A and B are shown apart, each in its own frame.
Chain A
Amino acid sequence: MVKRKLGALEKVEADLPNLQHKIRRDPKSYIEDFRAQHYQYESHREIFMAAPSSATDTGIISLRELIDFIAHVADCYPEITKDFPQQLMDILTQHHLILQSELREKIVGSLVLLRKKELLDSATLLQTLFPILISTPSKTLRALLFQKILMDLRSSNAKATNHKLNRTMQTVLYNLVTSDRTSSKGLWAIKLTRELWKRQIWTDAKAVEVMKEASLATNEKVIVGGVRFFLGGDKEREEMEDESSDEEAIDMGRVKHIVGINKKTKKKARAVEKAKATVKRRERKKNAPHPLNFSALHLLHDPQGYAESLFSRHLQSTKSKLNLDQKLMVLQLVTRLVGLHKLHIMHLYSYFQKYLTPRQPSVTSFLASLAQASHDLVPPDDLEPLVQKIANEFVSEASAAEVASAGLNAIREICARQPLAMNETLLQDLVMYRKSKDKGVVMAARGLLSLFRELNPEWLKRRDRGKEASMGLRSGEKKEKRFAEQAAGGIEGIELLEQWKEEERRKKRAEKGLPSDAEDDEEDEEDNWDAWNVESDEDSDDSDGWIQVQSDAEIELSDSDDDDEDSKRPKKKAKSDDETGAEAAAAAAAAEEPKKEESELDKKLSLAATRILTPADLAKLQELRTEAAVNALAGVKGRQSAGNRHHDDPLTAEEIEGLAALSAGKATREERIAHAKEGKLDRSEHKSVTAKRKEKKESQGKSTTNKEKARKKNFLMTLGKAKSKNKRSLVQTRAVLKAHQERAKRGGRRGNTGS
């Protein structure tokens, strides 16, 4: 279509944006004009309401533009426009089916704008938009409304959590899900809740309750949506958090440097301010205490009832219309709940009986679910027939290697959680598979063997037990665990902290030139007490008079084996102001030497019992723990043993399949090449070190050296100098040569005289 030529009138006069701009600057003077436009809007609205479906573009100004205009300046004239939001809401709710899409979007946008200007409260806005969201057939409108609703919820929760609004919204969603269980409208509740959960805006039990009800619906899509949330919602949330914290770091020094050099403009100054604010905000965020966000599975009110109803409704009942994949998902959720909360569902284990055959599609998922469902409070009588069945069906010389290894892995995972499901003869039988020809099977069998070396070496044959387990057996340390026996708890990673402290002490001693194994705990500890708070070391520095008071008031919790050391400490404290170091350390060393070996073991255990861990200690402990976790991940690539998996993490089919890939016959050449290339960096560019450095420099926006500049200089520009060189007089030449000699002596232009 040819673009319509604009008349002069349209260009100049019917210019609502211009009027809007003027009103913004001086609302009082333009009140008459605004009033006129408001009447104009009223008349247009009247025309529109008389025939909503046949609304045409009336004249130069359409209703859409008027709505936009009034929404933008409504905050200047609250008295005149007090009915405006309500009118918009009426139009939208009554006529959203027949409105032109542009007008519809404009109305939604204007309502959100009014909300931003605080002329409308969130609850009203959401109560208007949400019913339209779930009833409109238009896809674009739904997308728009969803986005706006989400945005509004986010912005009203940005500064502080708006509990009231959240509660009403959650109730609306809950009612939506529970009112009609067969309809698919619950999907909107799921979408909204999941998104808000991901962004950590809703982290409470009520949101989880909505999802729980969704997963108990009768519509398949809604069920799957709810179940997926429980299986993946928390992971999504963590990823989101990582993502947001991974935003590219701002190098403050670089920013300041650039500003110092470049032309100074207001815009650039603003950019610096912004960067500063960002850095500050991030810093604050980093120091803020970690928000206690429980996973959705922990926030369930009645996990037993929930798991039972899920199981009976979707898995056991013959009326459920779910397909295998969806059923597997539900099964995963049920078993995860069972494993996590140590529940007991009567028919769950017998339900598995039917599916544990190698021919069953996606049997590894079933195996993983079974392993997930076993915990140490499951009666062994329930599990034993299942283990037996897996052994019979999967693990035999006749079956394929992948099948056998999957079976062995599944048995290992079950036994890791409930060792009593195994018996001696079966174990010895299965362990024999480590002599198999196939690598996958061998690895699986070895895994089982090492597991039982830990758990119950007595069941293994003597020659399979290995050195450590045999020694443990002899010393009586390794004992069979009884049913439902609980180990005493401790602090996770405390031994790491102990180790680290030992090392630090050694380093310090080495610096001072003293024997590295002598003890000077006191000083170390003193440092710690000084740095009671991780952040507040500077204020303890400048108020030196008060430090003594704090160190005198130190709390002592000592056992007999630390006695001599402790008895010395107060004395040391008194001295430590004027003299520290050699004398004290020597005394300590002399005292400690004989006792050292025997107390080693006890001490490790007693670190937590003998000291109060300072916040600095705890911070270090946290750091060490993550470090250890990273190391463990890097060391055993892609495979986690049962020991270091977190209690909350799910068990997946991949882990059951394990090394089945190894036994899947020879890989093709391409596969092998791809496999070899996997871990390596991109080798596409071969470059010299200098070239790489240059590139790096360029990417950092740094300049070139003088040498490079000289090299790149245009040839014609150098000509003049070269010519004049020939015309130099003897005196000039002499001066130049002399200067050169002189320079050579100094060692270059910049002079090498420093050293």
Chain B
Amino acid sequence: MGSSAKKKKEKQKDFQKAKLKVGKAKAKPDNFTDTSFKAKSITLTQQSLTLSAPTSATQFTHHVSLLNSKSDTQRRDSLAHLTTHLANSRPGGSPPPQPVSTLLQTLSPLILDGNTGVRTQLLKLFRALPPRDVEDHVAQLLPFIRAGMTHLAADIRVTAVEVLAWLVEVAGVEVVGCAGGWIKTLNCFLSVLGWHTEESSKWSASRAAFGKSGSQGKPMVKVLGVLAEFLDVGIGMSGNEDGDVVMGWTEENRGQAGAGVGNSEFPLAQVEAHLIPKTAQPYVYLNLFGQPRDEEGEMYETREDRFRVFAARFLKAVERGVESARQDGGEVGRASSAVSKVLKEAMAYARGAGLEV
């Protein structure tokens, strides 16, 4: 029995209250861990010693750096801040604190961002950018747009198409004329619309669409509209107006040069060819420093070239697709009529130029 009494006592000990005494520190519990340490100096990694408020330029840079933030709202808010900044500064004519080329490097990956809010805000920001500055960076931007157009998520596809619409509007000639801009982008269009093969373009085909397709009709209409614009710039009438920038040899001057009369610079012929080119990279088509390009990645700078490629590769698929879209009727059918109109113009031009279709 002796041992059990002892045990009882020990057990009781656990539940006894420790007496607190005045002037003495409280006893440390058993599981106490000493976390104190000594150091000669303590450095805080983030500390702000400035007293004045940051300038708008620094704020701009700061928000650009926040675009890589992990949090969705942070990215969206930064984009919004940048948008307002750009929009406010635009009328004054002062350039943005950072050049557009560096801005685009951080902005273009956001086309593929998972958050819808971020992407819509991004589109607004793009619209706020000075259009003349964008023209030279189309080649940088296009791969991201193409990646977005073939993305698994339908929402991202739609945003990418919208971005493309903006880009075509701002710098259409560059879009269709830059390296890989014609064939690869058209491929993406066909893939978005599902027009690649004969079966998949039929309306009756039970195409096993993967991923959430979004609201079915509306994106289709949008894509068709953008396709019409894109084709129009590439091979339609509007592409014709200032299509051959590099050559400086447009339809109008050709007529004038041929006539040789009524021109303001009468004794000189083909003046533009001898002037300093207006574009930033006039000789880029020579591809002096890049990797050798294959057929898809090649630059197609004239309407003729573009049409030849289009006729060889895409014409059938597009006609088939447009036909089936027309049969669908409704909003989609109406949207397809724009595309077919561009196609008709292009065919007429081709016949006029003596190209075989």
Chain A residues at the B interface, C-beta cutoff of 8 Å: 4, 7, 9-10, 12-16, 19, 22, 26, 29-33, 35-37, 39-40, 42-44, 46-47, 49-50, 56, 58-61
Contacts and interface: CB of A to CB of B under 8 A. Distances in A.
Interface of B: 68, 70, 72, 109, 111-116, 140, 143-144, 146-147, 149-156, 180, 184, 187-188, 191-192, 194, 196-197, 200, 207-212, 291
A30 B210 contact: yes
B295 to A, nearest CB: 12
Closest 8 pairs (CB-CB, A-B): A59-B112, A43-B147, A43-B146, A36-B150, A40-B150, A39-B150, A13-B153, A46-B143
A14 B114 contact: yes
Contacts of B112: 58-61
Contact of B140 (A32, A50, A56): A50
B150 A9 contact: no
Contact of A7 (B70, B72, B109, B144): B72
Contacts of B150: 36-37, 39-40, 43
Given A30-B210, A40-B147, A44-B147, A13 B154 contact: yes
Contacts of A13: 152-154, 211-212
A13 B112 CA distance: 13
Contacts of A36: 150, 152, 191-192
Contacts of A33: 208-211
A36 B114 CA distance: 18
Contacts of B207: 32
A56 B114 CA distance: 15
A29 B147 contact: no
Contacts of B152: 13-16, 19, 36-37, 40, 61
Contacts of B180: 46
Nearest to A33: B210
21 contacts: A7-B72, A9-B116, A13-B211, A14-B114, A15-B211, A29-B208, A32-B207, A33-B209, A35-B191, A39-B187, A40-B151, A40-B152, A43-B184, A44-B147, A49-B291, A58-B112, A59-B109, A59-B113, A59-B114, A59-B151, A60-B114
Given A22-B210, A58-B112, A60-B114, A14 B153 contact: yes
Contacts of A56: 68, 109
A9 B155 CA distance: 9
A536 to B, nearest CB: 60
Contacts of A31: 197, 200
Contacts of B114: 7, 9-10, 14, 59-60
B210 A39 contact: no
B115 A7 contact: yes
A37 B152 CA distance: 7
Contacts of B209: 33
A60 B194 CA distance: 23
B144 A43 contact: yes
A705 B190 CA distance: 77
A13 B116 CA distance: 14
B228 to A, nearest CB: 21
A17 to B, nearest CB: 11
B147 A47 contact: yes
Contacts of B140: 50
Contacts of B153: 9, 13-14, 60
A35 B211 contact: no
B33 to A, nearest CB: 24
A50 B150 CA distance: 19
A12 B212 CA distance: 8
A39 B155 CA distance: 17
Nearest to B70: A4
B291 A35 contact: no
Contacts of B155: 9
With a 10 A CB-CB cut-off, give which of B112, B156, B180 has the most chain A CB atoms: B112
A97 to B, nearest CB: 18
B191 A39 contact: yes
A544 B334 CA distance: 94
A424 B109 CA distance: 94
Nearest to A23: B210
A33 B155 CA distance: 16
Contacts of A60: 112, 114, 153
B196 A35 contact: yes
A42 B187 CA distance: 11
B112 to A, nearest CB: 3
Nearest to B194: A32
Contacts of A50: 140, 143
Contacts of A12: 212
Nearest to A31: B197
Nearest to B68: A56
A9 B192 CA distance: 19
Given A32-B191, A59-B113, 5 more contacts: A9-B115, A9-B116, A43-B184, A49-B291, A59-B114
Contacts of A32: 191, 194, 196-197, 200, 207
